[in-house]
Amino acid sequence: MVCKIQAKKACRQEREIMTEKIITRMDDNGIAYLKMNDIEEKNTFSDDFIAGIIKGLDKITAMKPNVLILSGLEDVFSGGAEKKNLIDLCNGKVHVKDLLISEKLINTPFPVIAAMEGHAVGGGLVIAACCDIVLAARESRYGAVFMLMGFTPGMGCTTLLSELVGPFIANEMMFTGKRFKGSELARKSTNINYILSKKEIINKAEDIAWQISENNIKSIYLLKNTLSAKKKKLLIEARQQEDLMHKISFAFPETREAVEEFYAGKENKKK
Amino acid sequence: MTREEVAAVIKKHILDNLEDLEENEINTAKSMKDFGANSLDIIEVVSCSMRELKIKIPRTELADIITIDQLTDKFMEHVT
């Protein structure tokens, strides 16, 4: 099977479009790739980065792939929200751009495989929960860190995370903000498809994508439409509650301090 | 609490959070990164140790710490 994949790969004509932070391409077997590649900012959701993901997903959708592999950097799949956007929310500015990623991923007409070699925290983990098949690395960490910054979870986390890791582990992740090591999650009964060593993730994702790509694209799209109906509903439910909780929790005076404190170490290290 | 006791707490959490590491391999004059820890592993070791020692230190104070010895010294400033 692996040889077959490699042989096919060798004669594939790949179209690659490189942007600064998002890399998209599709091969001749209908396997599309979107790599979040913001090395400097570790795939945090700045407005530009979000726009890049949305643009990349639109581009891929137009290519009509059978399946998409969504990946990140080797050390970080996604770092979640950007500090500036969180401070904007503390200042009462409405900021819903990161929600667009959840919505867009759930509404893709093709299945999406999240291949998480690196850490995924906050909204970064939620985008994996929006995907159809999820792979995580034993060496990396995964957590819903919202509450560590004083505000309640967003992006659909309150309903989608429990689908991925189970309701009680999701509760622990959300209430504590603990970043679970992949190897620890592997010992628990989560719904993550595969928890492997970092170097195995992309190969496994490609193997799954290959299997999907052999099926009839028309039936793949039909099935995706049916299977995503539940997630679409869950996202709508989450947003009703999460938007309200955000209005309240971002207005707490302690939240701004907690956000500043949370990013303090990171900013000192950059200097 | 003695320095040795604080160091033992940190070592315990390093061993809990880093796989394939033996206690005798830990050299406290080095950084956790030298033993394969990534940035979030280090955060977890520090948080777990602070919880056990019942201390809270702002992240700004921890940002410049490099070695395990320096971390132990910082914790010693806060333990009773």
Domain ranges for chain A: 8-200+217-270
Which pLDDT band, with edges at 50, 70 and 90, does A267 fall under? low
Residue A82 reports pLDDT greater than 90? no
Report which secondary-structure segment, H or E, holds A113: strand A112-116
pLDDT for the residue A5:
53
User: B63 and A269: CB-CB below 8 Å?
Assistant: yes
Widest CA span of chain A, in angstroms? 59
pLDDT for the residue A85:
85
User: A121 and B41: CB-CB below 8 Å?
Assistant: no
Q: Is B40 on the interface with A (CB under 8 A)?
A: yes
Give yes or no for a contact between B11 and B69, defined as CB atoms under 8 angstroms apart. Answer: no
Reported pTM: 0.89
Which pLDDT band, with edges at 50, 70 and 90, does A92 fall under? confident
Residue A194 reports pLDDT greater than 60? yes
In percent, how much of chain A has pLDDT > 70?
89
Q: Domain A8-200+217-270 belongs to what topology? A: 2-enoyl-CoA Hydratase; Chain A, domain 1 (3.90.226)
- Residue A68 has phi, psi (to 5 degrees) of -120, 135
Domain borders along chain B are 3-76
pLDDT for the residue A266:
63
User: A183 and B41: CB-CB below 8 Å?
Assistant: no
Residue A142: which region, alpha, beta or left (left: phi > 0; alpha: psi -120 to 50)?
Answer: beta
Q: Write the residue in A121, A183, A268 that is nearest to B63 by C-beta.
A: A268
In percent, how much of chain B has pLDDT > 90?
79
- Minimal-distance CA residue of chain B relative to A259: B59
User: B62 and A141: CB-CB below 8 Å?
Assistant: no
Cα separation, A225 vs A239, in Å, equals 21
pLDDT for the residue A103:
94
pLDDT for the residue A3:
54
pLDDT, tens only, A145-189: 999 999 999 999 999 999 999 999 999 999 999 999 999 999 998
pLDDT, tens only, A61-79: 999 999 999 999 999 999 9
- Residue A136 has phi, psi (to 5 degrees) of -130, 160
Nearest to A177 by CA among B43, B14, B70, B76: B43
Q: Give the bridge partners for A120, in sequence order.
A: A78, A142
pLDDT for the residue A112:
98
pLDDT, tens only, A25-58: 999 999 999 999 999 999 999 989 999 999 999 9
The alpha-carbon gap from A81 to the nearest alpha carbon of chain B, in Å, equals 16
Q: How far apart are the first and last CA of chain B?
A: 6
For strand A67-71 and strand A76-78, is the pairing parallel, antiparallel, or unpaired?
unpaired
Q: What are the start-end ranges of the H helices in A16-143?
A: 47-63, 83-90, 97-106, 123-129
Mean pLDDT of A120-128: 96
> Between A and B, how many CB-CB pairs are < 8 A?
36
What residue has token string 């950097």?
A73
Q: Tally Cβ neighbours within 10 Å of residue A118.
A: 27
pLDDT for the residue A271:
47
Q: What is the DSSP letter of B25?
A: G
pLDDT, tens only, A232-263: 999 999 998 998 999 999 999 999 988 888 88
Cα separation, A152 vs A249, in Å, equals 6
Spans of chain B below 70 pLDDT: none
Nearest to B68 by CA among B19, B2, B3, B1: B3
Cα separation, A230 vs A233, in Å, equals 5
The alpha-carbon gap from A268 to the nearest alpha carbon of chain B, in Å, equals 6
Which pLDDT band, with edges at 50, 70 and 90, does A4 fall under? low
Please tell me which residue, A262 or A128, carries the higher pLDDT value. Answer: A128
Whole-number average pLDDT of chain A: 90
Q: Tally Cβ neighbours within 10 Å of residue A15.
A: 12
Cα–chain center distance at A56:
14
Q: What is the CATH number of domain B3-76?
A: 1.10.1200.10
Helices A217-249 & A97-106 angle (0-180, nearest 10): 150
- Minimal-distance CA residue of chain A relative to B57: A261
Mean pLDDT of A199-210: 98
